[in-house]
Amino acid sequence: MNYFALKHIHMTFAILSGLLFLVRGTWMLSGSQRLQARWVKIVPHIVDTLLLVSAIGLVVVSGQYPGQAPWLTAKLVALVGYIVLGVIALKRGRTQQVRTAAFFGALACFAYIVAVAVTKNPLLVP
């Protein structure tokens, strides 16, 4: 598979992942029972797995690796933050206040990851 096709697949799954997280977080904030739907517990894991597989594919095809490319290292660190905050927001947060703060923190991490991907600069300066 060529780089550009893989990049577009990755971007598609990134958008889907972000949208699914936003929807689930909104449902969490409103106390919706929709969070308990079977598909809500399955589909995001499939999308995120395909997102990760496409990211690994891009790393291999491009030859740019975290640790070697600072912008990829920044994305990887922010991804860990996004995952941790997302788990707190949607599953492990003990209070609504903690879940809400974690949700907005996770959204900030996601926005940072997208901005770094676009600029290829971990400091987000031109």
Instruction: State percent of the chain over pLDDT 70.
Output: 100
- 3-state DSSP call for residue 66? coil
> How far are the Cα atoms of 4, 9, 104 from residue 21, in angstroms, in the given order?
25, 18, 11
Instruction: Estimate the crossing angle of helix 3-30 against helix 38-62, to 10 degrees.
Output: 150
Do 72 and 28 contact (CB within 8 A), yes or no?
A: no
Per-residue model confidence as pLDDT tens digits over 73-98? 999 999 999 999 999 999 999 999 99
pTM metric for this prediction: 0.93
- Distance (Å, whole) CA 85 – CA 119: 24
- Distance (Å, whole) CA 112 – CA 121: 11
Reported confidence tier of residue 125, pLDDT bands at 50, 70, 90: confident
Q: What's the number of CA atoms in the CB half-sphere (13 Å) around residue 51?
A: 16
Indicate whether 126 pLDDT > 90.
no
- Give the residue among 43, 60, 45, 55 at the shortest CA–CA distance from 11: 55
